[in-house]
A = this chain, B = another copy of it.
Amino acid sequence: MRYEQLADLPCSITRPLVVLGDRWTLLILKEAFAGVRRFNAFQSNLGIPRSRLQDRLGRLVEHGILVRQQAADGDHAEYRLSRKGHDLYPILMAIKDWGDTYMAPDGPPVHYRHRECTGEARVTLACDCCGEPMTAHDVLPEAGPGLLAQVDAQG
């Protein structure tokens, strides 16, 4: 019950990590982006224990990242990415870029290609004003409204 309280901190990195930061959650989402929708498919693709998978899917549904519904044609359950879940894609692609660079000695196992050309999907960090690419060195953190709101609330 201590760790979960990190979610109260006014930090947009910490808060998502309390939900996403564990052994399986991001792997489950990776499968979801690969088109997997069924309980048994997640389970056998990842080798995750069933009870664990049940927990994680439930948590993702609670957070509105996945939506559970009965499949139209048949009868079975389906877990699909919501908009909110869909927007997690850049996180996985950023991980992919790093993995391709540092953990793929034989080259990328998978190319994530642009459907309409031969290029590949690549994540970049840039300034939303001038468009310049950025690294950690170019960043200057500064208090924002979410922080001030929290300070105000606490008196």
Give the B-binding residues of A (Cβ under 8 A): 2-3, 6, 10-17, 20-27, 30, 33-34, 46-47, 84, 86-130, 132, 134-136, 138-147, 149-150
Interface of A is mostly: mixed
**Roughly how many angstroms separate A28 CA and B14 CA in the complex, as a whole number?**
10
* Contact between B102 and A94, CB atoms less than 8 A apart: no
Number of copies: 2
Residue from the list B3, B117, B132, B144 in contact with A110, Cβ < 8 A? B144
Residue from the list B84, B118, B146, B150 in contact with A129, Cβ < 8 A? B118
Q: Report the nearest B residue to A144, measured CB to CB.
A: B108
**Roughly how many angstroms separate A115 CA and B91 CA in the complex, as a whole number?**
24
A to B CB contacts below 8 Å, 7 in the list: A16-B102, A22-B22, A33-B136, A91-B98, A110-B142, A112-B139, A121-B125
**Roughly how many angstroms separate A134 CA and B117 CA in the complex, as a whole number?**
12
* Contact between A106 and B149, CB atoms less than 8 A apart: yes
Contact A97 B106, CB 8 Å, known A113-B141, A116-B138, A144-B111: no
The distance from the CB of A131 to the nearest CB of chain B, in whole angstroms, is 8
Contact A91 B88, CB 8 Å, known A108-B145, A128-B122: no
The distance from the CB of A26 to the nearest CB of chain B, in whole angstroms, is 6
Residues of B within 8 A of A17 (CB): 26-27, 30, 95
Residue from the list B27, B93, B128 in contact with A125, Cβ < 8 A? B93
